[in-house]
């Protein structure tokens, strides 16, 4: 007989398309890494590691791995656009507030003029 494991995962996954961002930081992988990890810490999240890649003098793709999940960012400075992905989960409490805080902090940093945001509740919130 096989036992079934029931997940109690609770998480909020916020996906954003950011348009007309301030281009100042969109092609600076070191600054994006520093800011993303600091914003995660400021939101009360636990940073486990990160990886950021600079595409020549163009955009950046990066991710910060969290004990509570991740943040991923992809920039296109030539069009001042950013794809942003924030997923924060926890099996013992609702961390939606931390997901919103992190997402909004990145918006404050990048200053987009237009944001298309989608939020997906994952698991049992």
Q: Which residues does the annotation mark as catalytic?
A: 69, 74, 89
Taking the C-alpha atoms of residue 45 and residue 37, their distance in angstroms, rounded to an integer, is: 9
Q: Look at residue 34 and give its three-state secondary structure.
A: helix
Contact status, residue 67 vs residue 75, Cβ threshold 8 Å: no
Partners of 70 in beta bridges: 65, 87
Taking the C-alpha atoms of residue 8 and residue 102, their distance in angstroms, rounded to an integer, is: 23
For residue 119, what are its two tokens? 């939020």
């Amino acid at each position: 007989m096989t036992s079934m494991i029931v997940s109690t995962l609770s998480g909020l996954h916020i996906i954003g398309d950011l348009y007309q961002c301030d281009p100042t930081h969109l092609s600076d992988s070191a600054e994006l890494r520093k800011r993303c990890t600091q914003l995660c810490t400021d939101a009360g999240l636990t940073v486990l590691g990160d990886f950021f890649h600079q595409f020549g003098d163009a955009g950046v793709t990066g991710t910060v791995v969290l004990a509570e999940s991740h943040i991923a960012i992809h920039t296109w400075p030539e069009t001042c656009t950013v794809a942003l992905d924030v997923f924060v989960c926890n099996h013992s409490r609702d961390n939606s507030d931390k997901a919103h805080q992190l997402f909004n902090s990145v918006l404050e940093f990048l200053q987009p003029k237009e944001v298309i945001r989608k939020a997906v509740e994952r698991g049992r919130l």
